[in-house]
Amino acid sequence: MRKERAFLVGLDYRTRKRSPSAGLTSGAQAARDTATTAKSRPVSDPQFSAEESLAELRDLATSAGAEIAGEILQRRDRPDPATLIGRGKLEEIAGAAASVSADLLLFDHDLTASQQRNIENVVHARVIDRTQLILDIFATHARTREGQLQVELAQLDYLLPRLPGRGAEMSQLGGGIGTRGPGETQLETDRRKIFRRIRHVKEQIENVRRIRAQQRQRRESVPFATVALVGYTNAGKSTLFNALTNATVLESPRMFATLDPTLRSVTLPSKRKILLSDTVGFIRNLPHALVSSFRATLEEVQRAALILHVSDASSPLSAEQDAQVDRVLTELEAGQKPALHIKNKVDLLPSKQRDSLRDDARTVHVSAAKGIGLTTLLDRIDQMLRKFQSPWRENSNNGFRTDAHDRPDICWRILPKAEN
């Protein structure tokens, strides 16, 4: 099957430094320059550069199955309301895309429905924004019924406001990136059918949440703490999960290879057993519709006793990626949970840099692929659970208690008075 040829469009809207104004004192000019800089890139808000963001879009496009035909990066003071990039630049991009026989344009920015239409009218090719591309990748990777429902809801929520005046046009697009629904289906484009489908999917997802709640309640009746792996996409969570559990969860260099949560039992050095959860990877500007739709899945993170934040230590963007993960955890109301930071892929670092690494109370350096540091990691998980969990756990539904500090392998039943 022929791969679609994609032309990438990156954008940089950082405010340019204004020229000095006549009549301003040096102090006033410095204050204005400081305000301008803060507006474009807050110190407390680490960002990807436009070049780094475009590189990530390239990885996303490849994960979606596209062949990169070309790319361009435009810098502007502000977005153009009609076309995002301005008519002149748009005509230039249209010519460049046509010269390399591009099937679609991928924008590293969200587009309004009118902007998308206006751009398509000039370039005469399909136009997809970053959010639509991510949703498409999720759709192709969703394997379970639960995952497919959650992706479909996010896609329908995204598509609905973009349908007016485009229903017939979209129904004739055929297959391809941006038109695929979960399970190799075609996305619905009829507005009335979409409303009905959204209601049905929401009902099905609510059923999933109820089933998950029941499963969680059964798990919580046994004194096993749940520990959740989180991290930026491609940080190596699934590789680490497999290394710790001897499981065979899919490991892939493609983004968002893991969508459906997986739980496995792990025995810690103290002989205490925990349940380890592998979850979907996060990414910069993760579409809000996906966060909302995957809330049933991400509840595993919210309910975890300990979060293991996995980072790619070999990535030059590690700090920025960590900041994005922290943002999503805050959105999930899990930002204040006990967490252990795991710097993965240390085997990819230069030997001198690797030798200088030092673990501390909240950070462990590992290589899941090479098995480096895993014993230390398990010890640290054990220590943190002892610190943050009460030594006595009791479940009101069945009366089980366990001494989690001293004898995690022993559990006994406290009989109600009526049974004594």
Residue located via tokens 């520990």: 227
Helix (H) or strand (E) holding 2: none
318 within domain boundaries: yes
Domain at 384, CATH number: 3.40.50.300
Residue 404 lies in a domain: yes
Phi and psi of 97, rounded to 5°?
-65, -40
Tell me the per-residue pLDDT of 259-285, one tens digit each, with 9 for 90 and over: 667 888 999 999 999 999 988 888 887
pTM of the entire predicted model: 0.76
pLDDT surpassing 80 at residue 86 = yes
159 and 200 inside one domain? yes
Same domain, yes or no, for 285 and 234? yes
Do 174 and 272 lie in a common domain? Answer: no
Q: Does 93 reside within a domain?
A: no
Q: What is the dihedral of CA 380, 381, 382, 387, to 10 degrees?
A: 90
Residue 181 sits in which domain range?
A: 141-205
Q: What are phi and psi of 200, to 5 degrees?
A: -65, -45
Residue 340 belongs to a domain = yes
R_g (Cα) of the chain, nearest Å = 25
User: In this structure, are 237 and 338 located in the same domain?
Assistant: yes
Model confidence at 400, pLDDT cuts 50, 70, 90, reads: very low
pLDDT tens for each residue of 173-187: 456 777 677 655 656
Give the domain-ending residue among 205, 237, 261: 205
pLDDT tens per residue, range 144-164: 788 888 888 988 888 888 876
The average pLDDT across 199-225 equals 81
Distance of alpha carbon 250 from alpha carbon 252, whole angstroms: 6
Higher pLDDT among residues 387 and 348, named by residue: 348
My answer on whether 200 and 245 are in the same domain is no
pLDDT digits (tens, 9 = 90+) for 356-381: 999 998 999 999 999 999 999 999 99
pLDDT recorded at residue 384: 94
Residues 268 and 238 both lie in one domain: yes
Residue 90 belongs to a domain: no
Which residue would you say has higher pLDDT here, 149 or 171? Answer: 149
Quote the pLDDT of residue 249. 58
Domain count, the chain: 3
